[in-house]
Amino acid sequence: MILGHERQIKYLEHVLQNGRFAHAYLFSGPEGVGKFTIAKAVAKFFYCQNYQGLAKADECRQCRLIEENLHPQVIILDPEQTLVSKKEKRKEIPIEDIRELKRRLAFLPVGDEWRVVIINQTDKMSKEAEAAFLKLLEEPGSRILFILLSEFKDNLSQTIISRAQVINFSLLPAKTLADFMGSRVKDADFIREILLLARGQAGVMFKLITDKKGLEEERKFFKEISALLKSANLADAFHLSEKISGSDLLRQKTAAYLILAIRQYLLGDKEVLAKRAYPVIQSLKKMQHILQVMETTNVNPRLALDVIFLEFFNSYGS
């Protein structure tokens, strides 16, 4: 199911229906807002037996295969969904998988069928993989469509960005998520809680309203973060940093909650907004940059988190 992004959907629908689409698209924006879902919807356009539009789900066999990452003409690649490389935990897409992708695409398509390549977290390619992929992107072959997904577009080489049509995605408005939940959930307090925890991410919202255990874990973590923000105790912050530094997910959540807290801090006090907006926004930019470095390089995650907390208290507490 696709929520929001009406402008992006309308544009993609137009170029697909008119057959005037680019050979590569770069979907840029935060995780969990629907980029991957829309990429799969674009792939379904080429194979669906009952296509009615990008935003309308279909249950034909071809669409089910795409949804389950099993369609022979739709290649999906990211740090976890590999082609040939070992599937141990890692932070990058290695060159072995790009070489395998090149090998598969070297074969001629069946009849007039298109092949769709969806690369999730494109910014996590290794340098060698990125260089090899660039050559593939420059000479893609016939009837091949690349859809690249990236949370951190600035980490991609400018050459790759220039070879793709960039489509930007943003966090979803609270109203969009609230309208979806309102037709399924009657508890207004529960809806407000989910909106706070989801932080504009449809993927997080879906998980929280269907996974009771996941919801309880999120509540517990949010309570811990909220208590830390109220206490403004740097020692407690460093303790939490040590505790969560080994978890990619908890690091991302912590940074997201800190950024959300700063946003609410600015918007909730007109005097603060008038007098301190610039330095606070500068600290916010630094935090986002550190988060980007932490998630895309081998920098020590605990030290990076410590610096994020320092920036947070510098902007939020002074």
- Domain presence at residue 123: yes
- Domain presence at residue 264: yes
Is this structure's pTM higher than 0.85? no
When mean pLDDT is compared across 4-8, 127-131, 174-178, 233-237, the lowest value belongs to 233-237
Q: Is the pLDDT of residue 149 over 80?
A: yes
Residues 154 and 30 in one domain: yes
pLDDT in tens, 111-126: 778 899 999 999 888 8
Residues 270 and 161 in one domain: no
Q: Is the pLDDT of residue 31 over 80?
A: yes
Q: DSSP letter for 54, please.
A: T
> Cα separation of 95 and 130, whole Å?
8
Residues 139 and 15 in one domain: yes
Summarize the confidence of residues 171-175 as an average pLDDT. 88
- Domain presence at residue 105: yes
Q: Is the pLDDT of residue 283 over 80?
A: no
Q: What's the distance, CA 246 to chain centroid?
A: 20
Among 125, 142, 168, the domain boundary falls at 168
Residues 153 and 31 in one domain: yes
- Domain presence at residue 217: no
Q: DSSP letter for 29, please.
A: S
Residues 163 and 246 in one domain: no
Tell me what pLDDT residue 270 has: 62
Residues 6+ apart with CB under 8 A from 201: 30, 31, 32, 33, 171, 172
Q: Which residue has the higher pLDDT, 267 or 209?
A: 209
Q: Report how many domains make up the chain.
A: 2
> Whole domain around residue 114: which residue ranges?
6-168
Q: How confident is the model at residue 88 (pLDDT cuts 50, 70, 90)?
A: low
- Domain presence at residue 224: no
Residues 56 and 162 in one domain: yes
Radius of gyration of the chain (CA): 21
- Domain presence at residue 245: yes
Burial 128-159 (b: 16+ CB within 10 A, else e): ebbebbbebbeebeebbbbbbbbbbbebbeee
Residues 32 and 132 in one domain: yes
- Domain presence at residue 16: yes
The tokens for 145 are 């469509």
Tell me what pLDDT residue 305 has: 85
CATH code (residue 99): 3.40.50.300
Q: How confident is the model at residue 317 (pLDDT cuts 50, 70, 90)?
A: low
Residues 155 and 245 in one domain: no
Among 150, 168, 186, the domain boundary falls at 168
Among 142, 168, 194, the domain boundary falls at 168
- Domain presence at residue 58: yes
Q: Which residue has the higher pLDDT, 96 or 91?
A: 96
pLDDT in tens, 300-311: 888 888 888 888
Residues 266 and 118 in one domain: no
Portion of the chain with pLDDT greater than 90, in percent: 25
pLDDT in tens, 225-282: 878 877 778 888 888 888 888 887 788 788 877 777 777 666 665 665 566 667 777 7
Q: Is the pLDDT of residue 26 over 90?
A: yes
Tell me what pLDDT residue 76 has: 93
Residues 6+ apart with CB under 8 A from 150: 26, 27, 28, 121, 122, 123, 156
pLDDT in tens, 54-75: 887 777 899 999 988 889 899 9
> Cα separation of 260 and 201, whole Å?
13
Beta-strand relationship, 24-28 and 165-168: parallel
Highest mean pLDDT among 24-33, 45-54, 272-281: 24-33
Portion of the chain with pLDDT greater than 70, in percent: 92
Q: For the residues of 110-173, what is the DSSP string, one character each?
A: STT--EEEEETTGGGB-HHHHHHHHHHHHS--TTEEEEEEES-GGGS-HHHHHTSEEEE--PPP
Residues 160 and 281 in one domain: no
Q: Which residue has the higher pLDDT, 247 or 108?
A: 247
Q: How confident is the model at residue 169 (pLDDT cuts 50, 70, 90)?
A: very high
Residues 157 and 239 in one domain: no
Residues 158 and 251 in one domain: no
